[in-house]
Amino acid sequence: MSADKTLSWSYTEDFPLEDDAIAQARMRSLELGIAPVSSGTGAALRVLAASVGAKSVAEVGTGTGVSGLWLLGGMGADGVLTTIDVEAELQRQARRSFDLAGFPASRTRVIQGRASDVMPRMAARSYDMVVLDVEPRDAVDLADYALRMLRTGGVLAVTRALWHDHVADPARRDATTVAARELGKALRNSPLLLTTLLPVGDGLLVSVRQA
C-alpha cells in the first residue's frame, strides 16, 4: 500500500461539495454529540440512491438528518425517505434540517421507535434502498429486516462497517468489532446479494439484492 493512501483518503472525504443545509445539520449533530455520516459516505449514499432511481428509501438512524439530506438529494422529486430513530429530540432536529433544506414534509416519513419494532411492520419487497446507520451490533440484528424490505435490485447500505478502523485489525476481538466483521462476511457470502466494502468514511458495506 502506498504511503500516500492516508492523503488520498482525506482528499476523497473532502471531495464532495456539502451544501449549507447539510453543513448546518452536521454542526447541530456534533453539538449534540451524535456522529453524522462523513461527507464521503453521504455523497456515496446519494449516488447509490440516484443510481437505483430510488423513490422509496428507508433509513435507521435519523440523527439530525445529515445522511437523510444526502439521500433526499439523490432521490427523484417524488421520492419519500422513511427514517427511524429512537430519539424524538433528534428527529425534531432532523425535521428542521429537512425543512431548512426546502424538502416538503410529504418527502419524509419520520418514525420514532426502536427499529426492531418498526421494521417488521414495514412493507416487504417495497424499498429501493435501506440504510443502516447504527452501531454494528444493532446493524447485525436489523440486516434481515432490511433485506426483507428490499425489492429485487434494491440496495442495502451499512455504514460504520470498518468501525473506527478496528475491523481490519485481527487483534481486535471486542464484540462490536467482531459484529462488524461478521456482518460484512455474512453479506459477502449471501447468494442473494452482490456485496462490496467501500473504504469511504468509517466503511460502507453495499449490497444489491439480486432476487
Ligand X SMILES: C[S@@+](CC[C@H](N)C(=O)[O-])C[C@H]1O[C@@H](n2cnc3c(N)ncnc32)[C@H](O)[C@@H]1O
Residues within the interface to ligand X (CB under 6 A):
29, 34-37, 60-61, 63-67, 84-87, 90, 114-115, 133-134, 138
For 188, the grid coordinates are 459477502
DSSP 136-177: HHHHHHHHHHHHHHEEEEEEEEES-TTTTTTTT-TT---HHH
Kindly state the smallest distance separating residue 136's Cβ from ligand X, in Å: 11
Helix (H) or strand (E) holding 182, with range, is: helix 175-189
Stretch (H or E) spanning 8: helix 5-14
Q: Between the CA of residue 63 and those of 37, 117, 190, what are the distances in Å?
A: 10, 18, 30
153 versus 204: smaller Cβ distance to ligand X: 204
Query: What is the closest distance, in whole angstroms, from the C-beta atom of residue 114 to ligand X in the complex?
Result: 5
The residue (of 39 and 195) whose beta carbon lies closer to ligand X is 39
* Cβ at position 175, least distance to ligand X in Å: 15
Question: Between residues 58 and 90, which has the closer beta carbon with respect to ligand X?
Answer: 90
Cα dist from 204 to 66, 89, 195, whole Å? 16, 26, 10
C-beta of 34 vs 197, nearer to ligand X: 34
Q: Which is closer to ligand X, CB of 3 or CB of 17?
A: 17
Phi-psi region of 196 (alpha: psi -120 to 50; beta: other; left: phi over 0): beta
Nearer to ligand X, 102 or 191 (CB): 102
The residue at minimum Cβ distance from ligand X is 63
CB of 133 vs ligand X, minimal distance in Å: 4
Q: How far is the CB of 106 from ligand X (least distance, A)?
A: 21
d(CA 79, CA 57): 8
**Minimum gap (Å) between residue 178 Cβ and ligand X:** 18
* Cβ contact 67:58 at 8 Å: no
Instruction: Say if CB 72 and CB 98 are below 8 A apart.
Output: yes
